[in-house]
Amino acid sequence: MSVSLVLAILVGVLVAGGVVLLLERSLTRVLLGAVLLGNGINVMILTMGGVAKEAPIIGENAQADQNDPLPQVMILTAIVITFAVTAFLLALAYRSWQLQGHDEVQDDVEDRLVATRREAEELEDTGADADLEAAQDARAAVEETASPDDDAAITRDA
Amino acid sequence: MSTADLVPLPVVLPLLAAGTKFAIGVRWPRLQRAISVGTLTAVLVVAVLLLIAADRHGPQVAAIGGWQPPIGIVLVADRLSALMLAISAAVTLCVLVYSYGQGSADEEEGLPLAVFHPTYLVLAAGISNAFLAGDLFNLYVGFEILLVASYVLITLGGTASRIRSGTTYVIVSLLSSLLFLAAIGLVYGATGTLNLADLALKLRELDPDIRLVLELSLLLAFGIKAAVFPMSAWLPDSYPTAPAPVTAVFAGLLTKVGVYAVIRTETLLFPDDDRVAALLMVIALLTMVVGILGAVAQTDVKRMLSFTLVSHIGYMIFGVALGSQLGLSGAIFYAIHHITIQTTLFLTAGMIERVAGSTSSERIGGLAKTAPLLAILFFLPAMNLAGIPPFSGFIGKVALIEGGVQDGSWLAWTLVAGSVVTSLLTLYAVGKAWSRVFWRSPRVSLPTRDAATGPGTLAGEAAAPGPGPARGGAGEDVSGATIGGRDITRGGRMPRLMTGATAALVVLGLAFTVFAGPLTGVTDRAAVELRDRAGYVRAVAPVALLRTPDGYVIGPPATIPPGFSDSGADDPAPRRTPGPRATPTPGATP
């Protein structure tokens, strides 16, 4: 099976660009990265059909000259799916912007609580109800950068 | 009409029902419920019929549109598929009933439910399609159906915390889908076919190194979906914020679909590759140990459960890595057990949230007095998960450990030790959670019905009790929320449907213990069938495509080459008693 070099390079460029964008923190860039990556993989599947030949229509072209139609069918399905997911991601990015004023992917609050727990525990010796207060402190520290909570989101909706 | 004609129904019925429900909208709630419950019950009945047929007469194959494989796609229900299908149908049905209980308790009619229930059916269709797919691309489509439905479900209501966790989930899933698609492209480029049975024949002719590349790229894609260790960090981050029924069904089924795909490809397409088996063993060990250490560190019940979910995926991967009949049988048994138990535990976590207003064991306590039934409903599956002797978790673990001992390599022995340690740590984690949440005296006063906000008020945090730390919940990420994203109605009586559905799943989990004999019989036979690949290939009977000057013509069904099955196919009698293996793997020291 021979493969077009141009297509192979195109796949490489698209995938590389997609990966770089996917590593960004802004959701819009991640979205563009996913689109690039998806297109790169679609082109790769296209090259798996071998060298380009005539359209696979019976009666129009001799069967030996026809392209393998299966990769194209798969790409069509993949395009439809990627399209739907892209639309969904756009909606997510818009909603994120609506709620927070930006569309950056955020850390998990509980993860950071666990990460800061040691500091919280060191504070524990200072007072009677200290572990709770320390947890409060840790939580407050996290909240400074965390998202506004659900209620704010809902009231803005209402 | 033969049973093979029933095979497409578990995919088609939920899709049709979902379409009907979208068309109806929010009208006629009774009819809506009847459609959902009726559809999933029908799927359950069909799945059980398929399981019986597959167990008695071998794989049931439906060629869609009458196109012969490998040209057309096929849906195949062999013992493994039918068994997974039956369990998933039972679990989705119970969770559906639970969600009706929760929805009516929160007086949530209208928009979110009108989206939730049809999407839930689409999810069920996707899961069925993934289990039944006899074609790699159809497996991809099945994954996509269930994933797109899960994107909608995990961000339902669109609150800040769900958008945050949903973003991670969607991007990770999208990436794994793209990797899967790339792997499919590579497989097609290397073999020219995507039909699983046809691939089983054609992959043999490939260069082993190319085969390894294909195997690893498929495993990478499935590994992300199954939340296997290096690719598992997304799961505990994204699951806990979703509404209880959604988390429950995700925890039970979505990762297991990934595990199913791993089992299917490892047995049917790439059997007996020692390099990959060793890799899988290491991964299984890391998944188990790292996952359970995460669970021990958590104070929130839902997050603790998410980490145990990751950890116990390791057991199934261990069974697959062993590849012996005992190992595969143990992995299948463990998957079934784990689907049910993990779903039950997440449902009870949803009930804890309703009773106490939180699932953080820092804040709640003493629920054994206020909700004794809930304490029992949590205790039984929790002990089952930890693998206390009479329960099915113990049976599954013993089967896997037995398989590991039988394998005898030092890696397998390490795995055996690791799985015992994991089991003990699981007991510690769930025991700690149970004693904190249910046993010790409450540290803060529990919110009562009076203190709780009324169902139309949106200022949810006002429901938190004045004294105590719960007031600090202003960026609280893991808090009780309805399907629509509002705060759940707290206190009051537990809706009967929720208790009933959870109790039904607890009973199902216990039934695995009572009927462990027949069940291990089925999983043993499924393992034999998986190892003897010839049965699957013969049932699908992909025709050979002969190349002629004018293109292709359809030839006779492909013949199965000698030496194709790697197990003692002539000796189909399944035996659980440990004994000398029919075909010892080279390299395994006795």
How many C-beta neighbours within 10 Å does residue B29 have? 15
Q: Determine whether the interchain pair A92/B167 forms a contact, defined as Cβ–Cβ distance below 8 Å.
A: yes
- Look up residue A45 and give its amino acid: I
Residue B331 token pair: 């992995």
Q: Determine whether the interchain pair A41/B151 forms a contact, defined as Cβ–Cβ distance below 8 Å.
A: no
- Based on the number of CB atoms within 10 Å of its own CB, is B156 exposed (0-12), middle (13-18) or buried (19 or more)? buried
Chain B CB contacts of A41 under 8 Å are 178, 181-182, 185
Q: Determine whether the interchain pair B184/A74 forms a contact, defined as Cβ–Cβ distance below 8 Å.
A: yes
Residues B20, B320: Cα–Cα separation, whole Å: 40
Long-range CB contacts for residues B114-119, cutoff 8 Å, separation at least 24: B114/B21, B114/B25, B114/B26, B115/B152, B115/B156, B116/B153, B116/B156, B116/B483, B117/B21, B117/B32, B117/B36, B118/B17, B118/B18, B118/B19, B118/B21, B118/B22, B119/B18, B119/B149, B119/B152, B119/B153
The angle at the Cα of B556, spanning B553 to B557, to the nearest 5 degrees, equals 120
Chain A closest CA to B125's CA: distance in Å? 16
Residues B79/B51, Cβ–Cβ less than 8 Å: yes
List all residues of chain A from 15 to 34 with a beta carbon under 8 Å from chain B.
Answer: 22, 27, 30, 34
Residue among A81, A106, A150 with most chain B CBs within 10 A, to mutate: A150
Q: Given this model, what pLDDT does residue B338 score?
A: 92
The separation between the first and the last C-alpha atoms of chain A, rounded to the nearest angstrom, is 60
Residues A154, A143: Cα–Cα separation, whole Å: 18
Same domain? A136 vs A79: no
Report the DSSP beta bridge partners of residue B420.
Answer: none
Q: Given this model, what pLDDT does residue A10 score?
A: 93
Q: Determine whether the interchain pair A37/B181 forms a contact, defined as Cβ–Cβ distance below 8 Å.
A: no
For residue B105, what are the CA distances in angstroms to B112, B114, B349, B358, B479? 14, 16, 16, 17, 17
**Per-residue pLDDT tens for B487-501?**
666 666 677 888 888
Buried b / exposed e across A108-129, counting CB within 10 Å, b at 16+?
bbbebbbebeeebeebeeeeee
Q: Given this model, what pLDDT does residue B468 score?
A: 35
Chain A CB contacts of B459 under 8 Å are 151, 155
Same domain? A75 vs A17: yes
Considering only the beta carbons, identify the residue of B475, B478, B481 that sits closest to A146. Answer: B475
List all residues of chain A from 118 to 147 with a beta carbon under 8 Å from chain B.
Answer: 132, 135-136, 139-140, 142-143, 146-147
- Stretches where chain B sits below pLDDT 70 are 1, 104-113, 442-493, 544-556, 562-563, 565-590
The DSSP H or E segment spanning B555 is strand B551-557
Chain B closest CA to A153's CA: distance in Å? 6
Residue B41 token pair: 């019950």
Residue B306 token pair: 């998410």
Tell me the backbone φ, ψ of residue B587, rounded to 5 degrees.
100, -20
How many C-beta neighbours within 10 Å does residue B370 have? 14
Same domain? A15 vs A71: yes
Instruction: Give me the CATH number covering residue A95.
Output: 1.10.287
Q: Determine whether the interchain pair B160/A111 forms a contact, defined as Cβ–Cβ distance below 8 Å.
A: no
Same domain? A118 vs A88: no
Nearest to B283 by CA among B229, B334, B226: B229
Please tell me which residue of chain A has the smallest CA distance to B479.
Answer: A150
Residue among B168, B173, B181 with most chain A CBs within 10 A, to mutate: B181
B452 occurs within a structural domain: no
Instruction: Using the 3D structure, point to which of A100, A129, A148 is the last residue of a domain.
Output: A100
**Per-residue pLDDT tens for B295-331?**
888 888 888 899 999 999 999 999 999 888 888 999 9
Q: Residue A124, Cα to own-chain centre: how many angstroms?
A: 40
Instruction: Using the 3D structure, point to which of A68, A100, A132 is the last residue of a domain.
Output: A100
Residues A69, A46: Cα–Cα separation, whole Å: 10
Please tell me which residue of chain B has the smallest CA distance to A142.
Answer: B475
Instruction: Quote the number of domains for chain A.
Output: 2
Same domain? A70 vs A129: no
Q: Is B195 helix (H, G, I), strand (E, B) or coil?
A: strand
Q: Residue B248: CB partners within 8 Å, gap ≥ 6?
A: B95, B98, B342, B343, B344, B346, B347, B350
Report the DSSP beta bridge partners of residue B429.
Answer: none
Considering only the beta carbons, identify the residue of A22, A38, A151 that sits closest to B460. Answer: A151
For residue B224, what are the CA distances in angstroms to A105, B127, B139, B254, B581? 19, 17, 15, 11, 33
Residues B565, B538: Cα–Cα separation, whole Å: 12
B549 occurs within a structural domain: no
Chain A CB contacts of B442 under 8 Å are none
- DSSP per residue, B496-544: HHHHHHHHHHHHHHHHHHHTHHHHHHHHHHHHHHHH-HHHHHHHH-PEE
The angle at the Cα of B157, spanning B153 to B159, to the nearest 5 degrees, equals 115
Q: Given this model, what pLDDT does residue B577 score?
A: 38
Q: Given this model, what pLDDT does residue B42 score?
A: 93
Instruction: Using the 3D structure, point to which of A58, A83, A100 is the last residue of a domain.
Output: A100
Same domain? A87 vs A123: no
Q: Is B133 helix (H, G, I), strand (E, B) or coil?
A: strand
B588 occurs within a structural domain: no
Residues B347/B353, Cβ–Cβ less than 8 Å: no
Tell me the backbone φ, ψ of residue B166, rounded to 5 degrees.
-65, -35
Chain A closest CA to B544's CA: distance in Å? 17
Same domain? A133 vs A82: no
| Alpha-carbon dihedral B22, B24, B27, B29, rounded to 10 degrees | -70
Considering only the beta carbons, identify the residue of A48, A92, A153 that sits closest to B155. Answer: A92
Considering only the beta carbons, identify the residue of B167, B174, B362 that sits closest to A85. Answer: B174
Chain B closest CA to A5's CA: distance in Å? 15
Same domain? A62 vs A118: no
Buried b / exposed e across B540-571, counting CB within 10 Å, b at 16+?
bbbbebeeeeeeeeeeeebebeeebbbbeeee
Q: Is B1 helix (H, G, I), strand (E, B) or coil?
A: coil
B582 occurs within a structural domain: no
Domain span including residue A135: 109-157
- Look up residue B256 and give its amino acid: K
Considering only the beta carbons, identify the residue of A34, A100, A132 that sits closest to B174. Answer: A34
Instruction: Quote the number of domains for chain B.
Output: 1
HEC secondary structure over B27-40: CCHHHHHHHHHHHH
Domain span including residue B340: 3-447+481-535
Q: Determine whether the interchain pair B148/A66 forms a contact, defined as Cβ–Cβ distance below 8 Å.
A: no
Residues B160, B478: Cα–Cα separation, whole Å: 11
Residue among A90, A108, A155 with most chain B CBs within 10 A, to mutate: A108
Residue B301 token pair: 């019940």
Q: Given this model, what pLDDT does residue B237 score?
A: 81
**Per-residue pLDDT tens for B446-497?**
554 444 443 333 333 333 333 333 333 333 444 556 666 666 666 666 778 8
Residues A150, B459: Cα–Cα separation, whole Å: 10
Q: Given this model, what pLDDT does residue A26 score?
A: 85
Same domain? A19 vs A70: yes
Give ipTM to 2 decimals.
Answer: 0.77
Same domain? A89 vs A18: yes
Nearest to A96 by CA among B79, B323, B165: B165
Chain A closest CA to B459's CA: distance in Å? 6
Residue B458 token pair: 């949106």
Considering only the beta carbons, identify the residue of B159, B170, B240 that sits closest to A150. Answer: B159
Residues B393/B515, Cβ–Cβ less than 8 Å: no
List all residues of chain A from 51 to 80 with a beta carbon under 8 Å from chain B.
Answer: 62-64, 66, 70-71, 74, 77-78
Same domain? A14 vs A92: yes
- Look up residue B510 and give its amino acid: L
Residue among B174, B360, B361 with most chain A CBs within 10 A, to mutate: B174
10-residue stretch averages of pLDDT, chain A, 158 residues long:
82 93 87 91 87 77 76 89 90 85 72 70 55 56 47 43
**Angle of helix B274-297 relative to helix B301-322, nearest 10 degrees?**
160
Same domain? A87 vs A126: no
